[in-house]
Amino acid sequence: MIDVYGGAKREFEAGSDRMLDKLEFIEEKYEDLSHKISDPETISDQEVWRKLMKEHANLEPVVEKFREYKSVLKGIEDSNEMLTDKPDKEFEEMIKLELAELHDKKEILEEELKILLLPKDPNDEKNVIVEIRGAAGGEEAALFAGDLLRMYTRYAERVGWQIDILSSNATDIGGYKEVIFEIQGKGAYSRLKYESGAHRVQRIPTTEAGGRIHTSTSTVAVLPEAEDVDVEINMNDLRIDVFRSSGHGGQSVNTTDSAVRVTHLPTGFVVSCQDEKSQLKNKEKAIKILKSRLLELETEKHNAEIASDRKSKVGTGDRSERIRTYNFPQGRVTDHRIGLTLYQLDTFMDGDLDEMIDTLVTNAQAEKLKSAE
């Protein structure tokens, strides 16, 4: 590639040359992909074309930012050259003001490029499987699990994602001992992956006549939806049992054996689904959940092998880790990993999660940048 930077390239701080080399390589690859996806021979093979289109789209934000960065560097170089021509004082002041603005923009773009070059989580663009369970606190924990389900449902509605309940075990008073659902939407995992952990609620339960504040917890696990290429299941490793669906209190709600229990013998994972009237649909949902759990297991193994990288993340995602407290009497929600407290609990529970999620994402990026230095 032709060097378009001239003297401006010397302005890079230590280590920036490596970043520049990487960006140049990415731009070359992007240009090569642009030619390939326009080639009729490539277009004729739809599977290959889709793969290249996805790769092209992933590189596009980096290339666009890099080209903006190159334009700023060229502006700095041109301004410096004009200053060497000894212009009159008024014009010199104008050039210096422009240079100051360009240098500020250059620093901002460098930080943005560093973030764009951070290693991507391969699961970030995937749909998610969310599992919510009432933990400590009995009926109140189950009620809070229902509140969390509504919170994530409202958030999904706000951003235009689709929700599908895969499995649920409701209580008589409107809570959930367990509810598992899928959220379908671009980048769902990248936004929701920091929700895994124990969520603590402090409030007066509707079941408490004495008006005392109780503390209860519900756990949330956010799993990337596994695709067939991610997890391959040997059907011989599965034991599939069918039984009759039951409702609250164990009463039968179906006259056929449509409920399905799938046991993965190598790991001992058990998934039961009974929400659908069709045995086949319940089996498909159970296997979908199982695949996501197996993918999570493989991811945890990989993370354990690179423990130093794991320390750079916002929390471990462990279901037993208390990540957040919802204090209803004071109307506040606190995320303990980043020390952020918001005094807008009502809107937060109604799905207004972006401020919290944005801060978690920014904090994770900052930690990754720090560990990469």
Mean pLDDT within 288-292? 82
Say if residue 251's pLDDT is above 90.
no
Distant-in-sequence, close-in-space partners of 79: CB < 8 Å, separation ≥ 6: 95, 98, 99, 102
Please report the pLDDT score of residue 210 as a whole number.
67
Tell me what pLDDT residue 201 has: 92
Q: How many CB atoms lie within 10 A of CB 215?
A: 14
Per-residue pLDDT of 310-350, as tens digits, reads 343 344 334 456 899 999 999 999 999 999 999 999 999 99
The CATH class that applies to domain 128-368 reads alpha beta
pLDDT (0 to 100) of residue 352? 94
Q: Mean pLDDT across the stretch 232-242?
A: 79
Give the helix/strand (H/E) hosting 142.
helix 138-159
Beta-carbon-side half-sphere exposure of residue 217 (alpha carbons within 13 Å) = 16
> What's the mean pLDDT when you consider all of the chain?
81
pLDDT of residue 13: 45
Tokens of 253: 């709600």
Q: Hey, which of 111-125, 130-144, 184-198 has the most confident mean pLDDT?
A: 184-198
229 pLDDT more than 70: no
- pLDDT (mean) for 155-178: 88
- Residues of the chain with pLDDT > 90, as a percent, come to 36
Which is more confidently placed, 160 or 50?
160
- Sequence length of the chain is 373
pLDDT of 140 > 60? The answer is: yes
Q: Give yes or no for residue 67 having a pLDDT over 80.
A: yes
Question: From CA 273, how far away is CA 262, in angstroms rounded?
Answer: 9
Provide CB contacts within 8 A for 110, sequence distance 6+.
16, 19, 69
* Residue 76 pLDDT level (bands cut at 50, 70, 90): very high
| Architecture of the domain delimited by 6-116 | Up-down Bundle (1.20)
> Which residues make Cβ contacts (< 8 Å) with residue 234, sequence separation at least 6?
none
DSSP per-residue letters across 326-339? EETTTTEEEETTTT
Query: What Å distances lie between residue 327 and 142, 199, 356, CA to CA?
Result: 17, 11, 16
Domain locations in the chain?
6-116, 128-368
The structure tokens listed for 213 are: 């504040």
* 264-287 per-position pLDDT tens digit: 888 888 888 887 777 788 887 888
pLDDT of residue 2: 31
Report the alpha-carbon distance of residue 36 to residue 70 in Å, rounded: 25
Question: Which whole number is the average pLDDT over 104-120?
Answer: 86
**Average pLDDT rounded to a whole number, residues 110-137:** 84
Residue 335 has a pLDDT of: 95
Q: What is the pLDDT of residue 299?
A: 72
Identify the residue with better confidence: 328 or 306. 328
